[in-house]
Chains A and B, each alone.
Chain A
């Protein structure tokens, strides 16, 4: 049986260090398996989050060799066997302990986004929507809230601008509502102001790391920027709205 080494961050807000562990490998082994083996056989105090181990829940997010990844979907044989695999908690969020980061900000932001609002609120009639009208938003609803996009976004990661930008995850959520065929709320003011869609400089790292392969930038953020441009920047459309008497 062959072995691999991992270099895992151990510590908390007071500081920490990288510790090296050696584990046995088996076919199809993923980084999360290696972490579990360390917990069971070497150090039960090693903290990490996980749930489904099938890339469906988005709990086991960490940075593997510097890239944000789901540990359950990252195979150890993707990396050279002669070097340790470096596993680090998400750098964009405050650390709790070892591989566990405090991602609660994402849940806080989420609260401020109003959910679907229908014109016939209160009715119990079945909704009528064609598949072509929901194809776009179904892509956005694949999001598993692993927050890898939030972690990799330089606005949040390097700039720490959680005060003015909701991040790619919430752009995807806003897109799923804004493009809903039956939603009656106008989310453009929120996008322009509190959510800060204008902060994004579309450098696409969110798309690169998305384990659900959502085209975050091309299908969510850019279309939202264009919708905001319709309302706030395009002078021709402003004139047309004024002439047409629409707001």
Chain B
């Protein structure tokens, strides 16, 4: 009978002596913090656009703040549904799209399979994987195969959020540029960097071809593939900075709406 040698069995067992637990711990902490914040903001249903918020609507009326929309509530639409006396937040209808993109993202899968599912918690550290393990072949994980559809939605969102940057320059009495404009611009750039480095896009745009030199179309697609590959090699980096970016943009809008800070208007015309 073939025998493999193990020191002992059980999750977290390893012969590694470095701080292997640090990374999954950090990942879990940051992701959890984001989830808590995003959930809170989703259900807050306020402080996402100055003209609609209690504290900042006066600022809007006086032309001292622009049409600064939180990315959590973009595209802007208002619903007037009530479920058991609670006003349904439009964010609930918006968030599934970006959320599904990140949830099925090949990078985030690595991050949460390691830090939350502990399959495995770190390399050469025993985790939860059992003899019955079937990975992404079984429900619900088999859905990950449809990541490209989440990408399509996320791709549209880049344009919506870019349009928001333009709209942020709209004031009740004209146009202007504020720090908030740049915050939203940074957000959309980071999101674009993340979204356009998507593994599914990399496949669809050229990865699925076996011959890049065989036709003009194939050569063009190879050029695109190389550009996506450049971003794809930095996909993890963009995944994190764009996550911080979107939280930061939302937080900025919230603080402006709540009157905690004043948006710094640079120029008005």
Contact = CB atoms under 8 A, between A and B. Distances in A.
Interface in B152-183: none
A86 interface: yes
Given A152-B123, A181-B210, A205-B120, A91 B114 contact: no
Interface stretch (A19-27, A108-116, A226-234): A226-234
B225 to A, nearest CB: 10
Contacts of B147: 229
B267 interface: no
A200 B16 CA distance: 23
A228 B200 CA distance: 12
Nearest to A163: B131
A226 B207 contact: yes
Contacts of A181: 210-211, 214
Given A132-B213, A198-B137, A159 B146 contact: no
A53 to B, nearest CB: 24
Contacts of B146: 229, 233-234
B131 A159 contact: yes
Chain A binding site: helix, strand, loop or mixed by DSSP?
A: mixed
Nearest to A137: B210
A189 interface: no
A interface, size bucket: 35 or more
Interface in A155-170: 155, 157-161, 164-165
B2 interface: yes
Nearest to A11: B5
A144 interface: no
Given A63-B124, A94-B4, A132 B131 contact: no
Given A159-B131, A161-B131, A201 B15 contact: no
A180 B212 CA distance: 11
Given A130-B212, A227-B208, A66 B14 contact: yes
A26 B20 CA distance: 29
Interface of B: 1-6, 14-18, 106, 109-110, 113-114, 119-120, 122-124, 126-137, 141-142, 145-148, 199-200, 202-204, 207-208, 210-214, 222, 232-233
20 contacts: A9-B5, A66-B17, A88-B15, A95-B3, A132-B213, A155-B133, A157-B129, A159-B130, A165-B135, A180-B210, A201-B109, A201-B110, A201-B135, A203-B109, A205-B124, A222-B203, A225-B136, A226-B200, A232-B145, A234-B148
Lowest 3 CB-CB distances: which A-B pairs, in order? A66-B15, A66-B16, A94-B2
